[in-house]
Amino acid sequence: MIKTYSKGSRAERELAHFLNYKGFATLRVPSSGGFLSPLDVVAIRNGLVLAFEIKSHAKKPRLRKDQLGRFSEWCSKAGAMGFVAWRRTIPKENEDLTASNRWLFLRIDDAHANKYDDENWIERDLVLRALGVE
């Protein structure tokens, strides 16, 4: 459990630092997954509010229905665009440097529609470009 927690918190810090570098004010939310804060990272830039539930796994993550509901409600209250952020990790024995530790994003609307298929996950840089962030 501790190994999973530290891997997750490391991924949260990594994304928060990257977004800060891209000009966002970022906040890693303590007690993420809880009732009042059902997300991991918030990023704000010039009125654009992004919220992320972060997963760091080798296999494609899925949010539980209750977790997704709380996350969606928080995004709605905050006027935030919500994303499931997946830091795809590849086990060392299958190390492929082009695929390992790659960030992919799924819009919260796609998660609600149970559209976890590969074609709905978007590369990190494409998401930022679509939002006008270079």
Host domain of residue 110: 2-130
Counted domains in the chain: 1
Query: What is the model's pTM?
Result: 0.86
Kindly state the tokens that stand for 81: 């665009």
Amino acid at 87: R
pLDDT tens for 19-70 read 999 999 999 987 666 666 789 999 999 999 999 999 988 889 999 999 999 9
Which among 18, 2, 30, 1 is positioned nearest to 87, based on CA atoms?
Answer: 18
User: CATH number, domain at 21?
Assistant: 3.40.1350.10
pLDDT tens for 73-121 read 999 999 999 999 999 887 666 555 555 568 999 999 999 999 999 999 9
List the strands of the sheet with 81-88, edge to edge: 25-28, 41-45, 48-55, 81-88, 102-107, 122-123
